Structure 1
Amino acid sequence: MALKETHRPSIFWPMAWVCFGLLGASVKFRVAHPERIPARGAYVIAPNHYSEIDPVIVGMMLYRAGRIPSFLAKASLFRIPVVGWFLRRSGQVPVERTPAAAARAASPLAGARTLVEKQRIVVVYPEGTLTREPDMWPMRGKTGAARIALEQGIPVIPVAHWGTQALMGRYAKKVSLFRRHPIDFAIGEPVDLSEFAGKPIDQHVLADATEKIMAAITAQLETLRNEKAPAHRWDPAARGQSETGRFES
């Protein structure tokens, strides 16, 4: 499939071919409403997150749809030799996940704004880390996706996927490459954030906009799983769980 984008970071091509070479025979994508991914322009892709390999799978889906994604990725990955070089050269944006480190670092939103100016798409995981919800439903979101969308005036497209856990389970260290795994995607309509237009972008507005984004992602996942999500969203802080690190049941 020919890509629709004309501005392409050259390092993306070898990375894409490596991913397709390693995983192409091990996954089968089934995408509902791929036409909801615009061929051009800047917008935020907001997926659910429950496996370490999610960014690769989401990136492959978007690549097949004709867009080259950039991710807000945890900053520790950028400090790994070779991996960090590839991430920087392919236009990914580092994010410090602890408050102290974030205060010392340049704002990831500045990097995201640059991508928007270049009419690129940016993938933001609103949960910020793998969900702590025991059944892998989306948990409480953080405000990065909402802030980028509201500050830049661009759409947020909710994306849900299911089946990646068979390829690589939550916190697993190995990828299962010896059988083909179906991975289902549901692409939602842009989240309606019009009620926040013209309002000061404060914490109250960001919290409400974030919850609308999380509800849209959850609704798409319900269609894939043919189940109803829990009535109350999982909140790690209320459960005494850390915001980063491995899941604690």
Structure 2
Amino acid sequence: MARFPVIDGHKLPRQGAFILAPNHYSEIDPVIMGRFMWKLGRVPRFLAKASVFRVPVLGAILRWSGQIPVEREGRGRPDAPLKAAQQLVDRELAIIIYPEGTLTRDPDLWPMRGKSGAVRMALTAGVPIIPAAHWGTQQIMARYSKKISFFPRKTIYCKIGDPVDLSDLEGRPLDSATLAEGTRRVMTAIADLLGDLRDEQPPAERWDPAKNNQAETGRFE
């Protein structure tokens, strides 16, 4: 149905826990990135709201497939991110987290301003965060579209980057300044990878939904 060439796939760790942080511009992205990760020899895992695990049948499937439940903070569960991070380490999982939290609002599909969830978990768990970018997915399912098109056959490219250097942020309080700096580095790395795939120069600044009066609906922060 589609071709999935990977550039620098050797940079994806073959063992041990890590976070894969890709760009996000189509609802089918999780399927596409899961396909890439599987091709590179790692089982993709995602974070899911803990309440979903209590749904009959669906919850059983999520537990069987090794997905990680995350309780929402602010409801008497301030240690929710810590518990999720511990599962990541104990089970040596490869987790896909979209730093943007939702589909990019950037008109040209460049990565927009990121949220802090991926960096927070990486620093909490002490695991590397690997940036990645893919391009071509919009040919299968365009942003905001519900229509899927596999024919004619599409080619979707993926490029894996080097781990984002957060070493100088380790051991520091996870305050807004620390998380913002780490997130900035991650989003810059993702944008640079996407620029390589598109053979274009990414914007110097990330699209900011708040400044452009766009509603944000984050999946994990």
TM-score (norm 2): 0.88
- State whether structure 2 residue 39 is matched by structure 1 residue 27: no
- State whether structure 2 residue 79 is matched by structure 1 residue 104: no
SS at match of 2:109: coil
Amino acid aligned to 1:60: R
How many angstroms apart in 1 are the aligned matches of 2:109 and 2:59?
Answer: 28
Point out 4+ residue stretches in structure 1 off by more than 3 angstroms: 73-85, 93-96
Amino acid aligned to 1:111: A
Residues 81, 121 of structure 2: 8 Å contact kept? no
How many angstroms apart in 2 are the aligned matches of 1:241 and 1:140?
Answer: 12
Change (3 A) 1:175 1:95: farther
What residue is the counterpart of 1:151 in the other structure?
A: 124
Of residues 151, 157, 160, the one that matches 1:178 is 151
Deviates more, 1:81-90 or 1:203-212: 81-90
Structure 1 gaps of 5+ residues are 1-25
How many angstroms apart in 2 are the aligned matches of 1:181 and 1:69?
Answer: 22
How many angstroms apart in 2 are the aligned matches of 1:109 and 1:50?
Answer: 28
User: Which digits, 9 at most, give the CA deviation of each residue in 1:110-140, with x for residues without a partner?
Assistant: 2242022111111110000010111110001
What residue is the counterpart of 1:225 in the other structure?
A: 198
Of residues 10, 31, 39, the one that matches 2:14 is 39
Structure 2 gaps of 5+ residues are none
Residues 112, 122 of structure 1: 8 Å contact kept? no
Amino acid aligned to 1:232: E
Give the paired residue count.
216
How many angstroms apart in 1 are the aligned matches of 2:51 and 2:2?
Answer: 28
Of residues 101, 108, 113, the one that matches 1:135 is 108
Change (3 A) 1:176 1:157: same
Residues 93, 112 of structure 1: 8 Å contact kept? no
How many angstroms apart in 1 are the aligned matches of 2:114 and 2:14?
Answer: 27
How many angstroms apart in 1 are the aligned matches of 2:162 and 2:68?
Answer: 25
Deviates more, 1:74-83 or 1:208-217: 74-83
How many angstroms apart in 1 are the aligned matches of 2:144 and 2:57?
Answer: 22
Amino acid aligned to 2:18: Y
The higher-RCO structure (CA 8 Å, 6+ apart) is: 2
The percent of aligned pairs where both chains have the same amino acid is 54
Deviation of residue 198 (structure 1)?
2.7
Deviation of residue 75 (structure 1)?
6.9
User: Which digits, 9 at most, give the CA deviation of each residue in 1:54-100, with x for residues without a partner?
Assistant: 0111011111111001112467876877555433432223568xxxx
What residue is the counterpart of 1:196 in the other structure?
A: 169
How many angstroms apart in 2 are the aligned matches of 1:231 and 1:143?
Answer: 20
Q: Please give the root-mean-square deviation of Cα atoms over the aligned residues, in Å.
A: 2.2
- State whether structure 2 residue 39 is matched by structure 1 residue 71: no
Residues 3, 156 of structure 2: 8 Å contact kept? yes
Change (3 A) 1:109 1:167: farther
How many angstroms apart in 2 are the aligned matches of 1:91 and 1:123?
Answer: 13
What residue is the counterpart of 2:209 in the other structure?
A: 236
Residues 85, 125 of structure 2: 8 Å contact kept? no
What residue is the counterpart of 2:65 in the other structure?
A: 90
